[in-house]
């Protein structure tokens, strides 16, 4: 990753901070709240204040221009309602993809969720249903673009230490995965051109992440 410039949307998120720590000075974390700048910079990355619910595609394209890849790791987060699931989990993802196209940055990794691409189960919580709908629509938008995109759908996220052992495929049984391992897989995807134009589900498993990279 030496010499690469990677833009991370949702730079203060738990996965994003882990990514920034791995990427160091090559990472640029976009944050909405200026109070979060210090946390991003503490990883060794650069922080840029940019509210993706207010910015235009051209605003963001100016930040993205010259980057090697964009990682969409933003989310409205726990406690947010249906409206922000749409404006962040869908709207901000679409905005970042627009910006990447305008800036001529081809590689785009979108962190989505297991369950996206399918209708929520009957009786699902209203906010969960809105979340899955937003993630699905963001994926659908990305699939229509000329970008070299990869969609990553992690299972239930945990803060357990990463193991480096995962199960990664277009379809895997439901399960959980540490955020550490999600960050490690995203790093691997940046150097795995064979994953372009794929949607991959991710849970903990028994295959070393390094083996996945080696097969590309």
| Contact (CB, 8 A) for 111 and 154 | yes
| Contact (CB, 8 A) for 127 and 91 | no
Strand-pair partners of 201:
153, 169
> Does the CA dihedral 77-30-24-187 come out positive or negative?
positive
| Contact (CB, 8 A) for 160 and 178 | yes
Q: What is the C-alpha separation between 41 and 94, in angstroms, rounded?
A: 26
Q: Does the active-site annotation cover 39?
A: no
Of 69, 97, 105, 131, which is the active-site residue? 131
Q: Is 28 helix (H, G, I), strand (E, B) or coil?
A: strand
Q: What is the C-alpha separation between 157 and 54, in angstroms, rounded?
A: 28
The rounded Cα 32 to chain-centroid distance in angstroms is 16
Identify which of 116, 118, 192 has the alpha carbon closest to the alpha carbon of residue 148.
192
Show which residues are catalytic.
Answer: 131
């Amino acid at each position: 990753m030496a010499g690469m410039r990677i833009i991370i949307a949702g730079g203060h998120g738990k996965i994003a901070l882990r990514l920034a720590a791995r990427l160091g000075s090559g990472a640029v974390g976009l944050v909405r709240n200026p109070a979060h700048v210090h946390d991003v910079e503490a990883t060794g990355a650069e922080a840029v204040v940019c509210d993706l619910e207010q910015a235009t595609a051209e605003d963001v394209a100016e930040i993205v221009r010259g980057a090697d890849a964009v990682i969409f790791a933003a989310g409205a987060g726990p406690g947010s309602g249906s409206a922000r699931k749409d404006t962040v989990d869908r709207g901000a993802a679409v905005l970042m993809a627009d910006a990447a196209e305008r800036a001529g940055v081809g590689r785009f990794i979108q962190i989505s969720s297991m369950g996206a691409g399918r209708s929520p189960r009957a009786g699902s919580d209203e906010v969960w249903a809105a979340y899955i709908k937003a993630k699905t629509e963001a994926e659908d938008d990305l699939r229509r673009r000329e970008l070299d995109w990869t969609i990553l759908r992690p299972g239930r996220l945990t803060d357990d230490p990463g193991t480096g052992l995962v199960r990664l495929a277009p379809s895997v049984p439901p399960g959980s995965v540490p955020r550490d391992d999600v960050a490690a897989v995203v790093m691997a995807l940046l150097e795995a051109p064979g994953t372009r134009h794929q949607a991959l589900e991710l849970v903990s498993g028994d295959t070393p992440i390094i083996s996945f990279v080696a097969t590309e």
